[in-house]
């Protein structure tokens, strides 16, 4: 490999949102010219908790691809690919199964939280339980050095590192041990004030949301529950509106001035929210325009995915070949 590699991706269960952007997408856009970049649309993993609604997964493959292109992923330098069309990933998943115990999987904090949130405690699909192994296969298929993630995904990367260490210890150094790459803002809170932002929770601002929808969502945002009047001193810490302003307003002096006024009771929630909506729509305007241009020709987007997937398969095939050779199960 001439360049180090980065892998990112998302499950096509709905549009990408601003939390994805600050959590991983911005790094990918910034680094795609420096690293060999793979952007994986993980439709097989999306089926682990959407197996009864395959249409949802199917229609969102194109939507997520459009979002990636909108934020600035350049298909001329980055490889966009679809998980289900790369059977080598499934093969690696099977080969890694014996390297992980059931107990280790169930102790994965990220997995435990998601099992609880999705109500799988009494009826856990095996595919969902083995999600971390599948994710390890994603990462190692492309021998990724870096994986941009939010804080909540760190246990998943650690699980991958454990698999890689055990494989290399048993069979000889074959796989690259990946590093997690956290952003300055590893997690945005939901618009409802909850720590976790999620598509299924309905507390997100999507990259594809039109300006009026962004304004409506911002005006409904949670702020400071202890503040009864605009003249009351407000709390900035833990206030999602200011977290978003910190993340998306490049003019830090303006943000600090808003914080000062808010803390002194010299500006109301409405005015602060209007300022945030303006900042977000200014940020999203060029993304929406780029997305609309690609959306006018969906066949060209699917061609990008097809060509990217073909190259990704070549890379993943090399990894599978090396893995099977190391495990002494490559016979010809």
Among 199, 217, 259, 273, which one carries the catalytic annotation? 199
CB 305 within 8 A of CB 296: no
> Cα(254)–Cα(242) distance, rounded to whole angstroms?
11
- Please give the biggest Cα pair distance in the chain: 77
> Cα(69)–Cα(61) distance, rounded to whole angstroms?
13
> Cα(181)–Cα(158) distance, rounded to whole angstroms?
12
Task: Tell me, yes or no, if 118 is annotated catalytic.
Answer: yes
Neighbouring CB atoms inside 10 A of 105's CB total 16
> Cα(279)–Cα(273) distance, rounded to whole angstroms?
10
CB 45 within 8 A of CB 60: no
R_g of the chain, CA atoms, integer Å: 21
| Cα–Cα–Cα angle for 239, 245, 248, rounded to 5 degrees | 140
Strand order in the sheet with 78-82: 78-82, 36-41, 5-10, 146-148, 179-181
Torsion of CA 162, 163, 168, 171, to 10 degrees: 140
Buried b (16+ CB within 10 A) or exposed e, 170-206: ebeebbbbbebbbbebbbbbbbebeebbbbeeebbbb
Among 4, 56, 112, 118, which one carries the catalytic annotation? 118
Structure tokens at 29: 């856009």
CB 131 within 8 A of CB 48: yes
Task: Tell me, yes or no, if 4 is annotated catalytic.
Answer: no
Task: Tell me, yes or no, if 199 is annotated catalytic.
Answer: yes
Among 4, 112, 166, 196, which one carries the catalytic annotation? 196
Active-site residue list: 118, 196, 199
């Amino acid at each position: 490999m001439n360049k180090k590699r980065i892998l990112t991706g998302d499950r096509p269960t709905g549009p990408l949102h601003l939390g994805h952007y600050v959590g991983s997408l911005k790094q990918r856009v910034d680094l795609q010219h420096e690293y060999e970049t793979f952007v994986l649309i993980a439709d097989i993993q999306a089926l682990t908790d959407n197996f009864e609604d395959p249409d949802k997964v199917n229609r969102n493959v194109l939507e997520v691809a459009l979002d990636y292109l909108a934020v600035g992923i350049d298909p001329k330098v980055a490889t966009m690919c679809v998980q289900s069309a790369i059977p080598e990933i499934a093969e690696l998943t099977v080969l890694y199964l014996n390297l992980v115990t059931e107990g280790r999987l169930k102790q994965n904090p990220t997995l435990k939280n998601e099992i609880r949130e999705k109500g799988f405690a009494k009826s856990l699909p095996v595919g969902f339980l083995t999600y971390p192994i599948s994710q390890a296969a994603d990462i190692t298929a492309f021998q990724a050095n870096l994986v941009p993630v939010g804080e909540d995904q760190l246990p998943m990367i650690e699980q991958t590192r454990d698999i890689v260490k055990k494989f290399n210890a048993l069979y000889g150094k074959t796989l690259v041990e990946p590093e997690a790459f956290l952003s300055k803002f590893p997690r945005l809170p939901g618009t409802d004030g909850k720590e976790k932002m999620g598509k299924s929770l309905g507390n997100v601002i999507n990259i594809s949301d039109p300006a009026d929808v962004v304004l409506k969502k911002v005006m409904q945002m949670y702020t400071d529950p202890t503040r009864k009047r605009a003249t009351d001193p407000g709390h900035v810490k833990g206030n999602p509106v200011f977290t978003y302003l910190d993340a998306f307003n490049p003019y830090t002096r303006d943000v600090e001035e808003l914080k000062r006024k808010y803390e002194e009771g010299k500006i109301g929630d409405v005015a602060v929210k209007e300022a945030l909506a303006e900042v977000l729509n200014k940020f999203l305007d060029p993304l929406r325009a780029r997305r609309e241009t690609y959306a006018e020709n969906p066949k060209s987007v699917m061609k990008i995915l097809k060509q990217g997937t073909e190259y990704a398969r070549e890379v993943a095939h090399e990894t599978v070949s090396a893995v099977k050779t190391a495990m002494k199960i490559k016979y010809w």
